[in-house]
A and B are shown apart, each in its own frame.
Chain A
Amino acid sequence: MAASNIWAALPGKPPLRRCARGPAGGRDHKTEEPFSTDQSGNPAGRNCLAFLPPGGTSGCSATGAGATDSLQVPGRNPRVPVTYCWGTLASRPLPREPRLLRSHHPCPWHYLHVSSYEDSLAPTCFRAHLHRRGRGSTPNMASAMTDRNPRAAEASGTYTYTSRPRAVACQRRRYRDSILQPVEESMNYGNIMYDRRVIRGNTYALPTGQVPGQPDPLELQQQQQARRRALARKRAQQQLRPRTPEPVEGRKHVDVQTELYLEEIADRIVEIDMECQTDAFLDRPPTPLFIPAKTGKDVATQILEGELFDFDLEVKPMLEVLVGKTIEQALLEVMEEEELANLRASQYAYEEIRNVELAEVQRLEEQERRHREEKERRKRQQWEIVHKQNETSQKISARAFAQRYLADLLPSVFDSLRNSGYFYDPIERDIEVGFLPWLLNEVEKTMEHSMVGRTVLDMLIREVVERRINDYESKEAAQPAQRSDDVPNDPNTVPDPSGSNLFQSQASATPSGRFSSSLRNHWLTFNGGRRLKT
């Protein structure tokens, strides 16, 4: 720590250094690497430094109790201060710096083992480191919980890391907490080998995880219990801690700085300032044309006109080109035009043939159409003839049938009509309706007249007879002796005593009644006969 402070106090030199802190279990090795500003240093060498097992590997055992804290992954990038390193990397995609994740452990077994799983271990290692660094002097319970409970994070499907925002732990303490108890970070490391997220062995036999989003209730309960237990333990520790005795009355405890406030920096580097100054730039004049130095001798020759240039000779290639090119081009063009003209001519010829054929086709079509129409017309005619024939025969048969059917009908209708009295003789009917009743009336009148006459005659006769009887009896009474034998033989008195008596009594009572009764009898007989007749 002291060395760290010294470095920090150096002016102009940032504390570019790492302090790889070992686990708490006595292996307090420090690999200090003062980082030089020289950027061209060998990074491999720098990294190699980190993997060097420290001198004392005491207490390292893969199964030891201290091995739970055995993996420490400090910031591996030597160019960056440690605090800065973890602060930024938390928000950075994890696999970007695989070198960060190398384990720094004294035990070679661990080192080898973990480094072989470097890729798969990457998130876990990194996270473990983050928690450890972040906890510092005040262990964060929540982050510890997430550290201890990988299953909870695993249950949600994807790996997520959440941490409460907190202040950056101060590198340098302002004061000592307690002299008696040296500051000891509660290193609550978890063995990464027992981390459930670390898959050991064959990944094919991977157990299928729980349904994401539904944490195991048993697990939740266990978590709560563990949390409660940890709280209780912490409280008990606080109570059991030996404290300074209570201050005397009127005083109070005050934290006092007992050590020196300032430290002398011994190894001061002597600095010397040196200066150098270049000249100001001047405008550079253009480079003069390079003219090589003249060598050799000048010699002259006179050339007369026409000696060098012969027009006929010189013009020949040009003419060749001209004529050759012209002929070639002309030939090409003629061929091309001929071809095009041929094409066009054959097109026209084809079109002509096609037109002729089209006309022929049209003619044939027209002929065919006419034939078809003719056929249709004939067919229709024939059809009409057949139809008409059918109709005629049907009519004829219907007529014959109707005739036969109606032959019986007419007499029967006349019969029934005659029976029901629709046909009658007008004279006969007149006689029946008009004449006969009149005749009957007349007959009746005549009969009545004769009856009245007869009744009147009867009455006359009866009166006459009675008078004669009376006369005769009176005479008889005058001669009773003589005439006593003659009485039973009297024809008027003997026949039908009862009827005659009745008739006599009635006649004697009311002559008109006698008359009416006889008249009624007559009527009855008359009416009865008539009724029968009608």
Chain B
Amino acid sequence: MPLPDTMFCAQQIHIPPELPDILKQFTKAAIRTQPADVLQWSAGYFSALSRGDPLPVKDRIEMPVATQKTDTGLTQGLLKVLHKQCSHKQYVELADLEKKWKNLCLPVEKFRAIVDLDPSEDKMEWIKFLALGCSSLGGTLNTAMKNVCEILTSDPEGGPARIPFETFAYIYQYLSALDPEFSAVETETYLANLRDTSESRKNGMIGLSDFVIGKKPV
């Protein structure tokens, strides 16, 4: 019996079978990411989904979201999302990065401020941007390095958060060069000390416990 063209009751409404799953995943991502502007973030989410790019979704829900209202709104989780989206290539286009930045409902002023720290044309090394973002999260150089470690590491969350020492040294040198308070000699000695310990014991990897505890004994 062919279905009549006219609808008589609610049972005739057809729901696409993949809709609930997409809807659910989207809802979960929205709950997890807690974007300030859901519409903008949704546009970014679905465009990334349709293109098959990494989704702008946080891995973990971030409870202290108060910074989104009071402060710039940049958090470690958001930086991690950006890293997930951009780390596949060494240099990122600033326009592309700005679009992604906007999709995460972050203020453009902040983006400009970060880019102004290390002015370049239209391309920027991603690792440098990440370092600058981490330093803009606030705190000292050590906290920035801690954030970098936690973002870059492949260890599971809560683990030792180890990254290769070369990356660490590169970022550290870059950040300390930007900071006029740090002299190059100090940086070199500090890095040399860390290099010894990391190479002798942990086959070239450096973890949080190597430099954070040294500064801040529990």
Contacts and interface: CB of A to CB of B under 8 A. Distances in A.
A119 B58 CA distance: 88
A354 to B, nearest CB: 11
A345 B59 CA distance: 12
Interface stretch (A129-137, A321-329, A386-394): A321-329
A304 to B, nearest CB: 10
A323 B27 CA distance: 9
Contacts of B18: none
Interface string B14-29: 0100011001110110
Contacts of A338: 32, 60-61
A330 B13 contact: no
Contacts of B27: 326-327, 330-331
A311 interface: yes
Given A330-B24, A330-B28, A344 B13 contact: no
Interface in B43-89: 59-61
Contacts of B95: none
A317 B32 contact: no
Interface residues of B, number: 26
Nearest to B156: A348
A305 interface: yes
Contact of B24 (A315, A329, A349): A329
Contacts of A351: 159
Interface of A: 305-306, 308-309, 311, 314-315, 317-318, 322-323, 326-327, 329-331, 333-334, 338, 341, 344-352, 355-356
Nearest to A325: B20
A507 B10 CA distance: 199
Contact of A330 (B7, B10, B31): B31
Contacts, number: 72
A317 B10 contact: yes
Contacts of A318: 10, 13, 15
Given A334-B61, A338-B32, 5 more contacts: A305-B6, A314-B10, A326-B23, A333-B28, A345-B157
A334 B10 contact: no
B160 interface: yes
Contact of B8 (A308, A331, A352, A356): A308
B209 to A, nearest CB: 6
Contacts of A346: 158
Contacts of B19: 322
Contact of A347 (B13, B32, B155, B158): B158
A352 B159 contact: yes
A245 to B, nearest CB: 119
B158 A352 contact: yes
Contacts of A314: 7, 9-10, 13
A509 to B, nearest CB: 140
A344 B156 contact: yes
26 contacts: A305-B6, A309-B9, A314-B7, A317-B10, A322-B19, A322-B20, A322-B23, A326-B23, A326-B27, A327-B27, A330-B24, A330-B31, A333-B28, A341-B59, A341-B60, A341-B157, A344-B158, A345-B156, A345-B157, A345-B158, A347-B158, A348-B156, A350-B158, A352-B159, A355-B160, A356-B209
Contacts of B156: 344-345, 348
A153 B209 CA distance: 97
A340 to B, nearest CB: 11
A315 B31 contact: no
A352 B31 CA distance: 30
A306 B160 CA distance: 66
Nearest to B19: A322
Interface in B146-181: 155-160
A349 B207 CA distance: 13
A356 B202 CA distance: 13
A349 B31 contact: no
A326 B209 CA distance: 42
Contacts of A308: 8
Contact of B13 (A311, A329, A341, A348): A311
A349 B209 CA distance: 11
A331 B31 contact: yes
Interface in B81-104: none
A331 B59 CA distance: 15
Contacts of A311: 7, 13
Contacts of B158: 344-350, 352
A75 B53 CA distance: 101
Nearest to B6: A305
A332 to B, nearest CB: 10
B126 to A, nearest CB: 26
A346 to B, nearest CB: 6
Given A326-B24, A334-B31, A356-B209, A315 B160 contact: no
Q: Which of B6, B10, B23, B158 has the most CB of A within 10 A?
A: B158
Nearest to B60: A341
Contacts of A326: 20, 23-24, 27
Given A334-B61, A338-B60, A348 B159 contact: yes
A352 B24 CA distance: 35
Nearest to A329: B24
A368 to B, nearest CB: 21
